[in-house]
């Protein structure tokens, strides 16, 4: 079962269970996917829909947006809104691939650097592109960038 089918099935299940919080988040996910499909059609994209990698990218972006919102709500003293954002993050992350831990991330960086023969900071773009291709949705590239830079400067 593909990601899209899982989301649709879980939406129906949340409706039956009257789980309004989960249902709300699943509807937000579906709306974001539909928006991206419409944009792709406008750009001359295919009618078949979005690839799994694109769906993963949409979900990753949604998680990042909610993390930023939760942080802003916490700073503003709106803890109930921050809690709701964190609950949405949990639902969205359940559809993302498992995140690599710190050791697995370091190993992936080392492997990409070795395979590409990267030796200096000038190779950082190639290394990051390789990591994105292999590990989309599995690591936080905002945190990985400084790790790659540090590794290449040694």
For the record, the structure tokens of 76 come out as 């503003």
Helical H runs in the chain?
3-17, 20-42, 52-75, 79-93, 102-116, 124-135, 141-153
Q: Per-10-residue mean pLDDT for the chain, 154 residues long? A: 89 95 94 90 68 84 92 95 94 88 90 89 90 81 87 82
pLDDT of 38-74, one tens digit each? 888 877 665 566 788 788 889 988 998 999 999 999 9
For the record, the structure tokens of 109 come out as 């960086």
Domains belonging to the chain, first-starting first, are: 3-93 (1.10.1510.10), 102-153 (1.10.10.410)
Separation of alpha carbons 150 and 8, rounded Å: 42
Residue 110, Cα to own-chain centre: how many angstroms? 22
Residue 56's pLDDT is: 85
Residue 45's pLDDT is: 60
For the record, the structure tokens of 146 come out as 């400084």
Residue 148: which of 43, 24, 129, 137 has the closest Cα?
A: 129
Residue 39's pLDDT is: 87
Residue 46's pLDDT is: 57
* 120: DSSP letter: S
Question: 99: part of which helix (H) or strand (E)?
Answer: none
Q: pTM for this one?
A: 0.72
Residue 133's pLDDT is: 83
């Amino acid at each position: 079962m593909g990601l899209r089918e899982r989301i649709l099935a879980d939406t129906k299940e949340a409706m039956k269970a009257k789980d309004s919080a989960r249902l709300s988040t699943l509807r937000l996910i579906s709306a974001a996917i539909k928006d991206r499909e419409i944009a792709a059609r406008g750009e001359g994209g295919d009618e078949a829909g979005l690839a799994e990698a694109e769906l993963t990218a949409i979900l990753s972006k949604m998680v990042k947006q909610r993390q930023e919102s939760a942080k802003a709500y916490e700073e503003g003293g709106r803890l109930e809104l921050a809690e709701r954002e964190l609950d949405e993050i949990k639902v969205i992350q359940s559809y993302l691939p498992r995140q690599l831990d710190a050791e697995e991330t370091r190993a992936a960086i080392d492997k990409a650097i070795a395979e590409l023969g990267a030796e200096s900071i000038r190779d950082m773009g190639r290394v990051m592109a390789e990591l994105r291709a292999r590990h989309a949705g599995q690591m936080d590239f905002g945190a990985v960038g400084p790790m790659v830079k540090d590794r290449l400067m040694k």
